[in-house]
A and B are shown apart, each in its own frame.
Chain A
Amino acid sequence: MREVKLFKNQTLFSPGEKPDYFLEVVEGSVKAGNVVYGPGDILGFVEYFLNKPLAEEVKVEEDGVGEKYKEDDVEDKEVFKKILKCSLEELNASLASIATQEVVKDLIDAARFDALLDLSSLNKTSLETFDAIEGMIKLSMLPSLPDEEETAYDFVKKFKKEMDVLQYILYRITFVKKYPESEHSQEFLLEVIDIYLKEFGDRYGAKYAIMLFLLFYPDSPKVKDVLLELIKVLKQSGDPEWFEYYERLAMLFPEVGVKLDEIT
């Protein structure tokens, strides 16, 4: 094991390179593709052991310290345990997100299909259908926001709901799409879902916002609540599929014991 200093913007690995060591971030941060890794994270582990090329460039994001490891370093039992723990955590996360992603994809498809069915329903007058389409089109005409995240956040925060509630929603959705990794984005989207459901009683808008949430934050601790909202919306739409999704949700989150009462 060798301790090394990490300097901002330093390239640790280039794309296509087969790493001859793997690195633990001890202090500071390192970016691989769009993901930022911090203290305790290990990079290049899989590629090093399998002698495979890295897909993305790995650069230092913030000055710090790293520890370079080679396979002989696992002679030290504690180093072995540390590396094993990190790699198992990664495996656990991958296997858990495969399940979440597949269910989420199913639910998103169902939500889209359901929205289309609602639009083409024979019970609606052409004017109502037109209104619904116009509402969806308006959602696609999102306003622009400043390029700097904090400035954009201040701008969105300053816009009050009383001024124009639809614009209020559009600014929030635009912010989420532009800065999905921002700490404010989940909170904005949850607020939008809440407005659609509680203030507007608008299933189309609610589904749209729920779909965005599921797309961007499938691993959020709030995903269960959002999926429950989607199931409620499906149920209110008279879509019998809701029960299938409920069963899948209960399977995904057995530890919370989703009860039928929560959605009836």
Chain B
Amino acid sequence: MRSLELPAGSVLIASRSYPDGVYVVRKGLVGLFDSLGRLIIVVYRDEVFGLESISKMVNKYVVKTLTFAEIDMYNLGEFEHFLDGEKRKNILKQIAKWNWLAEKRYQMNTEDRLADILKELKSVAIDESYMDQILVSLELNDALIFERIRREMM
């Protein structure tokens, strides 16, 4: 296992690539971006990404840190080693949640999508100081809309 400390905006998995291993978020926030660089899903502490490596699949999205983040990276053997039944259930629950969010946000325009994400961040009481870092890590267009929505919601 390797522990990584990364600033906001660091790319962990590029689009259409094989993840090097499985990653667990220990601190900070990570985002899944579609292939045009738009934020769709936020990954929180203790959530796992890079699971495509278990299924030997290529991922089609970009995984990037939204804030300063501490992340543990496991190679496949290490990760499978302690993957007990309870952890497997939690992983499937997490993927079900991501599928549900992606499906929901698939129907939304950019503004509604970002407002939805912001609402989600507020509901999990995300530290306000993270917001500036999140804006830095978003694409310019998304960031401008995100900032406007944030002001409206405050």
- Measured CB to CB, the residues of A under 8 A from B are 45-46, 48-50, 52, 71-72, 74-75, 77, 80-81, 83-85, 87-99, 101-103, 248, 251-252, 254-255
Q: Which residues from A are CB-within-8-Å of B15? A: 254
Cross-chain contact B34 with A88 (CB below 8 angstroms):
no
Cross-chain contact A251 with B92 (CB below 8 angstroms):
no
Q: Which residues from B are CB-within-8-Å of A97? A: 106
Total A-B contacts with CB atoms under 8 angstroms apart? 101
Whole-angstrom distance between the Cβ of A24 and the nearest chain B Cβ:
13
B42 part of interface (Cβ distance < 8 Å): no
Cross-chain contact A254 with B61 (CB below 8 angstroms):
no
Cross-chain contact B34 with A50 (CB below 8 angstroms):
no
Considering the complex of A and B, which 10 residue pairs feature the smallest CB-CB distances, nearest first? A49-B96, A94-B102, A85-B55, A99-B34, A74-B88, A95-B61, A75-B85, A92-B60, A99-B35, A96-B60
Task: Name which of A49, A50, A77, A254 has the most chain B CB atoms within 10 A of its CB.
Answer: A49
Cross-chain contact B60 with A95 (CB below 8 angstroms):
yes
Task: Name which of B61, B89, B99, B110 has the most chain A CB atoms within 10 A of its CB.
Answer: B99
Cross-chain contact B89 with A74 (CB below 8 angstroms):
yes
Cross-chain contact B57 with A88 (CB below 8 angstroms):
yes
Q: Which residues from A are CB-within-8-Å of B35? A: 95-96, 99, 251-252
Which of B32, B55, B92 touches A95 (beta carbons < 8 Å)? B32
Bound CA–CA A116/B62 (angstroms): 37
Bound CA–CA A196/B110 (angstroms): 34
24 contacts between A and B (CB under 8 A): A46-B99, A46-B103, A49-B96, A50-B93, A52-B100, A80-B92, A81-B54, A84-B51, A87-B92, A88-B51, A90-B99, A91-B99, A92-B59, A92-B61, A94-B102, A94-B103, A95-B35, A95-B40, A96-B61, A98-B40, A98-B102, A102-B38, A251-B36, A252-B36
- Measured CB to CB, the residues of B under 8 A from A are 15-16, 32, 34-36, 38, 40, 51-52, 54-55, 57, 59-61, 83, 85, 88-89, 91-93, 95-100, 102-103, 105-106, 110
Bound CA–CA A71/B86 (angstroms): 9
Bound CA–CA A97/B60 (angstroms): 10
Whole-angstrom distance between the Cβ of A72 and the nearest chain B Cβ:
7
Q: Which residues from A are CB-within-8-Å of B83? A: 77
Bound CA–CA A75/B85 (angstroms): 5
Which of A71, A91, A95, A254 touches B95 (beta carbons < 8 Å)? A91
Q: Which residues from B are CB-within-8-Å of A252? A: 35-36
Q: Which residues from A are CB-within-8-Å of B106? A: 94, 97-98, 101
Q: Which residues from A are CB-within-8-Å of B100? A: 46, 50, 52
Q: Which residues from A are CB-within-8-Å of B99? A: 45-46, 87, 90-91, 94
Bound CA–CA A73/B83 (angstroms): 14
Which of A48, A49, A72, A102 touches B85 (beta carbons < 8 Å)? A72
> In the complex, which residue of chain B has the Cβ closest to the Cβ of A253?
B35
Cross-chain contact A85 with B57 (CB below 8 angstroms):
yes
Q: Which residues from A are CB-within-8-Å of B36? A: 99, 102-103, 248, 251-252
Bound CA–CA A251/B88 (angstroms): 35
Q: Which residues from A are CB-within-8-Å of B102? A: 91, 94-95, 98
